Chains A and B, each alone.
Chain A
Amino acid sequence: MQNIAIAIHGGAGTITKNTLTTTQEIAFNAALKQAVEAGHRLLAKGGTALDAVELAVTILEDEPLFNAGRGSVFTKAGKHEMDAALMCGKTMAAGAVAGVRGIKNPIKLTRAILEKSDNVMLSGYGAEEFAREHAIEFAPESYFYDAYRYQQWCEVRDTNLFLMDHTEQREQKFG
């Protein structure tokens, strides 16, 4: 019998026992479990790998704990700019977007590009226009606001530094 399997990630960085509280650790684990098991259930019912990865990533994009979709970090300009990609191993078809704003689930836009476009990668305003033409859901700027992400940005916005998903500022303090 063919094995089915799914794996997910929610970002990497300076994540140690000292940087997470027990409450945070429980919340992260619950979110990961929900996403991976939703994808696995779909596979177990005979769903495709492409549908399973799209579903799992959509769930993670809706979770503010992770830097994607709703939980996206702030740019230098105080905005949210998102990138995403999706690829099918059977057909080698791919869809990707870069620098889009206001798209609720960028991974759904990549699926539309994969299936309904002759292109592989769209960016910026053009990608958003494509999203509107294909009824991809948008969300207001307030949807992407997260107090923790805002605080992270405040610590570095007057510098030329940029930070990875889960990187703590350990030695530098910015007044």
Chain B
Amino acid sequence: TVGAVAVDSAGNVAAATSTGGMTNKNFNRIGDTPIIGAGTYANNATCAVSCTGHGEFFIRSVVAYDISCLIEYKGYTLQEACEEVVLNKLIKIGGEGGLIAVNPAGDIALTFNSEGMYRACKRNDEQTILGIYKN
């Protein structure tokens, strides 16, 4: 799975996700990617999110929208919301994977509970950050 989230100079956010699914998948299985709110979500009032991982768990937890809700209704920061969902809620039900998120202020979160996640980000004129493994 691949994905991107961004905030532009007008403060608008957007999210995109694309995937080939899971190796050996059957019965026209689809994962969380195309399900708005589960694997992909964007709202200028809160954030934009793109997920990757074991889709069935992300669907059941409505992960992307859940993060937006924690920000909107509970006042969480972007980072707090992402950690609550990925490192707490998802782990409790055995959901492996991660996500990227950005908010209209330009904050970025790259959160995952698996051993690694291919990831990169760049804000303003800051250096490009690349990562593969945990830490």
- A→B interface (CB under 8 Å): 2-17, 20, 25, 28-29, 32-33, 35-37, 39-40, 43, 46-50, 52-54, 56-57, 60-61, 66-69, 71-77, 80-90, 92, 94, 96-99, 106-107, 110, 120-121, 123-124, 149, 152-153, 156-157, 159-166
Contacts and interface: CB of A to CB of B under 8 A. Distances in A.
Nearest to B104: A89
A71 to B, nearest CB: 7
B53 A89 contact: no
Nearest to B97: A12
A9 B119 contact: yes
Contact of A3 (B21, B101, B123): B123
Contacts of B128: 33, 36-37, 40
Closest 3 CB pairs of A and B: A72-B20, A3-B106, A15-B116
A83 B96 CA distance: 19
21 contacts: A2-B106, A3-B123, A9-B4, A9-B52, A9-B117, A11-B118, A12-B1, A29-B130, A32-B118, A43-B8, A49-B6, A68-B2, A68-B18, A74-B24, A85-B16, A88-B42, A89-B14, A123-B30, A159-B24, A162-B25, A165-B52
Interface of B: 1-26, 28-31, 33-36, 39-44, 47-48, 50, 52-54, 96-102, 104-108, 110, 112, 114-124, 128, 130, 132-133
Contacts of B28: 81, 99, 124
A13 B114 contact: yes
A120 B36 CA distance: 9
A5 B7 contact: yes
A68 B23 contact: no
Given A72-B20, A89-B48, A11 B117 contact: yes
A82 B25 CA distance: 11
Contact of B6 (A25, A53, A77, A98): A53
A89 B132 contact: no
A13 B40 contact: no
Contact of B39 (A52, A85, A106): A85
Contacts of B114: 12-15
A80 B20 contact: yes
